[in-house]
Amino acid sequence: MDFALDARTEELRDKLLAFMDEHVYPAEAQFHAEVEANPDRWGPPPMIEGLKEEARRQGLWNLFLPSKEGAGLTNLQYAPLAEITGRSGAIAPVALNCAAPDTGNMEVLHDFGTEEQKKQWLEPLLAGEIRSSFAMTEPDVASSDATNIGTSIVRDGDDYVINGRKWWITGAMNPAAKIFIVMGKTDPTATRHRQQSQILVPRDTPGVNVKRGMHVLGYDDRDHGGHAEIEFTDVRVPASNLIAHEGDGFAIAQARLGPGRIHHCMRSIGIAERAIELMCKRANERVAFGRPLAEQGVIRDWIAESRVKVEQLRLLTLKTAWLMDTVGNKGAHSEIQAIKIATPRTVEWILDKAIQVHGAGGLSQDFPLAAAFAGIRTLRFADGPDEVHKNSLAKAELRKHL
Ligand SMILES: Cc1cc2nc3c(=O)[nH]c(=O)nc-3n(C[C@H](O)[C@H](O)[C@H](O)COP(=O)(O)OP(=O)(O)OC[C@H]3O[C@@H](n4cnc5c(N)ncnc54)[C@H](O)[C@@H]3O)c2cc1C
CA 276 to centroid of ligand 1, rounded, Å: 29
Mean pLDDT, 10 residues at a time, the chain of 402 residues? 94 98 97 95 97 98 94 96 97 98 96 98 98 98 96 98 98 98 98 98 98 97 97 98 98 88 96 98 98 98 98 97 94 95 98 98 96 97 95 96 95
Ligand 1 pocket, 308 CB below 6 A? no
Q: If DSSP codes are grouped into helix, strand and coil, which group holds residue 338?
A: helix
Q: Are 125 and 132 in contact (CB under 8 A)?
A: yes
Q: Could you tell which of 102, 137, 257 is best to mutate to test the pocket of ligand 1, judged by most ligand atoms within 8 Å of the CB?
A: 137
- Ligand 1 mutation pick, 168, 182, 230, 386, max ligand atoms within 8 A of CB: 168
* Beta carbon of 197 within 6 Å of any ligand 1 atom: no
Amino acid at 353: K
Residue type, 289: F
The residue whose CA has the least distance to atom 11 of ligand 1 is 136
Distance 380 CA to ligand 1 centre (A): 8
**Is residue 40 packed enough to be buried (19+ CB in 10 Å), middle (13-18) or exposed (0-12)?**
exposed
Q: Residue 48, SS3?
A: helix
Measure the CA dihedral 85/91/96/97, to 10°: 120
Which atom of ligand 1 lies at the shortest distance from residue 221's CA?
Answer: 1
CB-count burial class (<10 Å; 0-12, 13-18, 19+) for 110: middle
Atom of ligand 1 nearest to the CA of 135: 11
- CB 177 near ligand 1, within 6 Å: no
**Of 388, 390, 395, best ligand 1 pocket probe by most atoms within 8 Å of the beta carbon:** 388
Q: Whose CA is nearest to atom 7 of ligand 1?
A: 169
* Mutation test residue for ligand 1: of 179, 219, 381, 389, the one with most atoms within 8 Å of CB: 381
- 144 within ligand 1 shell (Cβ under 6 A): yes
3-class SS shares of the chain: helix, strand, coil, % to 5: 55, 15, 30
**CB-based contact 132:97 (threshold 8 Å):** no
* Spans of all domains in the chain: 7-99, 131-246, 250-399
* CA atoms lying within 13 Å on the CB side of residue 16: 26
With beta carbons less than 8 A apart as the criterion, state whether 127 and 92 touch. no
**Residue 260: CB within 6 Å of ligand 1?**
no
Q: Is 135 helix (H, G, I), strand (E, B) or coil?
A: strand
CA of 143 relative to ligand 1 center, distance in Å:
6
3-state secondary structure of 340: helix
**pLDDT of 212:** 98
pLDDT of residue 257: 81
In this structure, the strands spanning 208-213 and 227-238 are antiparallel
Q: Measuring CA to CA, how many Å separate 395 from each of 97, 399, 402?
A: 37, 6, 11
State if residue 287 touches ligand 1 by the CB under 6 angstroms criterion. no
Contact 98, 63 (CB under 8 A): yes
Identify the CA nearest to 32 among candidates 367, 259, 271, 388.
Answer: 367
Beta strands in 18-62 (DSSP E): none
C-beta 394 within 6 A of ligand 1: no
- Ligand 1 mean position to 384 CA, how many Å? 6
Homologous superfamily (CATH) for 250-399: Butyryl-CoA Dehydrogenase, subunit A, domain 3 (1.20.140.10)
Q: Residue 256 has what pLDDT?
A: 84
From the CB of 168, is ligand 1 less than 6 Å away?
A: yes
Name, in order, each residue with C-beta under 8 angstroms of 24's C-beta and a sequence gap of 6 or more: 51, 88, 91, 92, 95
> What whole-number distance in Å separates Cα of residue 126 and Cα of residue 115?
15
In CATH, 131-246 is 2.40.110.10: yes
- The reply to whether domains 7-99 and 250-399 share a CATH topology is no
What's the CATH code, domain 7-99? 1.10.540.10
Run of H or E residues at 183: strand 177-185
